[in-house]
Structure 1
Amino acid sequence: MNALLAVARYEFRMQARKRSLWIAATLLGGALIVLQGDRGPRSLPMGTPAREVMGTWALLFAILMPLAYGMLLADRLVRDRKLRVEPLLESLPHAPATRLAGKYLGGVAACALPGLAALLLAAITELPTRHDPALIGWALVAFLVVTLPGIAMVAGFALVCPVIVSVPLFRVLFVGYWFWGNLLTPEFLPSLTGTLLTPIGDYGATWLLANDHTALFAGTPGFLPFLRPDPSAATAALSAVVVVLCGLIPLAAAALVAHRNARQTWPSKA
């Protein structure tokens, strides 16, 4: 446990200090604020409940900001090989799975900072006009049910997949997947948009918006209907759990492979 926390703490401090993380998140978040249109949070009438206001903000930021997190984490494990520090790390007493889990937790925590900061800043800017202190509390709730699960899923794939397909190819595929699997409605092309598997967090946002079907993709009819239940508090929680578990799948596979490799090479090292 101490080794896990040490790796996670180091990874968090390293990633959180990167200017590229904050610059990319600021640019994407700022573009969304400027281009939000008449369905964005700025267009919500006065008197709109705080949970709906912050749910709309959370969904708005979730449209593009996770792209920054995926791009940033894509070269994390590959960089260890390029810098030739991987053999040194493998010689440490803790297991490869511990090292991988620490990198994942630290990366998720670091990428969560811009997401949380964006929601809190949005709540603070809404306070002078809406005069509702509950905006701060609902910003934290929206972060937990909309923002954080998506970051957890993106981080899992962004850490592991580039080792297999290369960093540039992963980034291209990731951008294509993001728009296909989160923003493309099934009426144009079969996609995962509107399912429990979408890391954009539309099921959680739909719960915050009191099941306002006009604002979100959650439950949109399409293929794989069993993954498109009607939005509710239960399905919002289920979607968050499923999205996080999806992000853990590549980590579990990578940890298993690393464990097998370590067992095979141990006799020769001995």
Structure 2
Amino acid sequence: MTDLSKWPCGNQTLNLTETQVMGVLNVTPDSFSDGGHFIGHDQALRHATEMVDQGAAIIDIGGESTRPGATPVSVQEELDRVIPVIEALAGRVDAVLSVDTSTPEVMREAARAGVHLLNDVRALSRDGALEAAAGLGLPVCLMHMQGQPGTMQLNPQYGDVVGEVLRYLGDRIAACEAAGMKRQQLLVDPGFGFGKTVGHNLRLLNELDRLQSLGCPILVGMSRKSMIGDVLGKPVDQRLYGSLAVAVAAAMKGAAIVRVHDVAETVDAITMINAMRQSGQDPAVNGEPKA
């Protein structure tokens, strides 16, 4: 059984007995929240370093926007965006480096550049991705998405959103195991906002703990998303407090990793949740002498 206090990520480890914060680094011109802000090499490196200093345990580097209606990018363009950033950060920041990609060529080049984790919104369903990931041996996050980014939010429908997400992720885990990967190297992400209405998203959050039955740590990404805007009536640049609320709720429901834009504020909130959990496990806090 994998020791979650030292969950392996390449030559790094993560303590997944506590919820960890993943900082978003989009080196794209068109991401929904911070598109174009960090596309320059120097800006990207400064922002990544700042997020690590603020407490991010993981930096997730993405070169292809997957927002609703996003335009696909070529393999070469994605490589040109992410590989120089990974190369510059590898060995220089004390954090796990993740690459947000579905493209086999990008996975391979990112691994050579020093990335520790593959984060795939298409759950290794793109041609060649499963074989590439299995050959690299890196941990992988498998995400659920109904449809494709260009059309996924047009009319998403489910009979039972939680049950269908569970079945899909279970099937992708089985495909990974059939390709020679171990369940212990997999994470799962229910894909908030990826082919889901606000009602679907809220139900998934409310029943997030059901995903623990898959036997993999849970990663969630809800930061600044439209589900928050729909509930609060706030534009994307005014969703900090809503983002903190759903990050805390996810942690309470068993999320091992929360993927966020506002790292410093989220680290404070999650640190309090981790401390509360620890108090329940520490005999001294409960008035009992330590062994």
Q: TM-score range by the shorter chain?
A: under 0.3
Structure with bigger helix share is 1
Higher relative contact order (CA 8 A, sep 6+): 1
Structure with bigger strand share is 2
TM-score of the two chains, using structure 1 as the length reference = 0.28
TM-score of the two chains, using structure 2 as the length reference = 0.26
Larger radius of gyration: 1
